[in-house]
Structures are given as structure tokens and as C-alpha cells.
Amino acid sequence: PLEMSAKKPVPFLRQVVSVTKKVHRDPRFDDLSGEYKPEIFMKTYSFLDSIKKQEKEMVQKQLKKCRNVEQKEKLQQLLNRMTQQEQAQKKQQKLRERELSLKRQQRELAKQGKKPFFLKKSEKRKLELAEKYAELKRSGKLESFLNKKRKRNAIKDKRRLPSQKNL
């Protein structure tokens, strides 16, 4: 802005120089970025999986060489986080594949002229539990899983029951 004399009164109609404001756009909410499709995203950034694998191996090597207790603990936590992320990604991928297979089946039925039938959320959950049960049975960890579940439920039941002091 121009410096004006303080002694001179400001004119009623003064000239204002407009400044163009830079518009920031967020790609998450902007239509210009396109629609998010997880399948395309996974294909585009699939090279990151190999990089993550290399980093995990590197952390494992450092963990074996490391002598410092604090440093070793930090590396162990990092390794655990990496494995958990990997497992979560695999689980998400399985879920996506299951949904896609259900959609394919519905399309095939629609092509045959039948009415499409969509599963409820509860029915999807039941199918998922049945699959988990079969997986645990195959791996031989079913009994330990059921024991843990029984213990958890027993603890919940104990909490719900009124205590002996109140009687």
C-alpha cells in the first residue's frame, strides 16, 4: 500500500488494489483429482510393498546386531508395527476380494435374469466368522482361540453379576 500523509484527509473514493488470493485445493475433496478406487490405488502403488519388505529385513538385521537394550526395544516395536501393518493390509485385501466375488456372482445372476440378492451386514459377519473358524481349524489354533474367548466371556459375566458385598 502507498504511504499517505497523515495530515491530509483520506479521499472518500480511494483506489483499492486487489490482490489475487492463491486458492489451495485439497485433493481428498476436489473433483479434479478423480474418484478414489482402492483397486487402482493398490495397483499403482504396489512397488511400495517390495520397499517395505526390504525395510523390514533391514530392521531385522539391525535387531540381531544391536547390543543396546533401549535401541533393541525400539527396533522390536518398529518391527512389530511393520508386521501388524502388513497383516492389516492382507486382511483388507481379503475383504476386498470377497466383496468383489460377491458382486461378480450378483452380476452373473442378473445376466441370467434373476433378481439380485444383497447380503445384510449381519449375514456378511456370519460368513466372515465361518471363514475364520475354518482357517483356525486348518492351522490348529482353534482350541486356544476358543479357550481365550471363553475366558473373556467369563470375565465379562463376572463383572455383570452383583458383587457379594451388596447382598
> Helix axis angle, 142-160 relative to 121-139, nearest 10°?
130
Whether 80 is in a domain gets the answer: yes
120 and 75 in a single domain? The answer is: no
Whether 20 is in a domain gets the answer: no
45 and 105 in a single domain? The answer is: yes
67 and 121 in a single domain? The answer is: no
Q: With 70 as the cut, is the pLDDT of residue 165 above it?
A: no
38 and 110 in a single domain? The answer is: yes
Q: With 60 as the cut, is the pLDDT of residue 167 above it?
A: no
106 and 42 in a single domain? The answer is: yes
Whether 21 is in a domain gets the answer: no
Residue 149 confidence class, pLDDT cut points 50, 70, 90: very high
- Centre a 10 Å sphere on the Cβ of residue 74 and count the other Cβ atoms it contains: 13
Q: What is the mean pLDDT of residues 85-112?
A: 90
| CA dihedral angle for residue 150, residue 156, residue 159, residue 161, rounded to 10 degrees | -70
108 and 125 in a single domain? The answer is: no
42 and 109 in a single domain? The answer is: yes
Q: What is the pLDDT of residues 17-45, one digit of tens each?
A: 888 888 888 888 888 888 888 889 889 99
CA nearest neighbour of 105 among 120, 116, 92? 116
Residue 155 confidence class, pLDDT cut points 50, 70, 90: very high
Cβ atoms of 146 and 155 closer than 8 Å: no
* Enclosing domain of residue 60: 30-114
88 and 127 in a single domain? The answer is: no
104 and 40 in a single domain? The answer is: yes
Whether 155 is in a domain gets the answer: no
The number of domains in the chain is 2
Cell numbers describing residue 147 = 479357550
Cβ atoms of 146 and 129 closer than 8 Å: no
pLDDT at 166: 59
Helix (H) or strand (E) holding 114: none
Q: With 70 as the cut, is the pLDDT of residue 112 above it?
A: yes
Residue 59's contacts (CB-CB under 8 Å, 6 or more residues apart) are 75, 78, 79, 82
105 and 38 in a single domain? The answer is: yes
Whether 46 is in a domain gets the answer: yes
104 and 128 in a single domain? The answer is: no
Whether 2 is in a domain gets the answer: no
Whether 139 is in a domain gets the answer: yes
Q: What is the pLDDT of residues 116-135, one digit of tens each?
A: 888 899 998 998 899 899 99
Q: Is 62 helix (H, G, I), strand (E, B) or coil?
A: helix
Cα 78 to Cα 55, 56, 89, distances in angstroms: 11, 9, 17
Radius of gyration of the chain (CA): 30
- Centre a 10 Å sphere on the Cβ of residue 88 and count the other Cβ atoms it contains: 10
Cβ atoms of 32 and 25 closer than 8 Å: yes
54 and 125 in a single domain? The answer is: no
- What mean pLDDT value characterizes the chain? 89
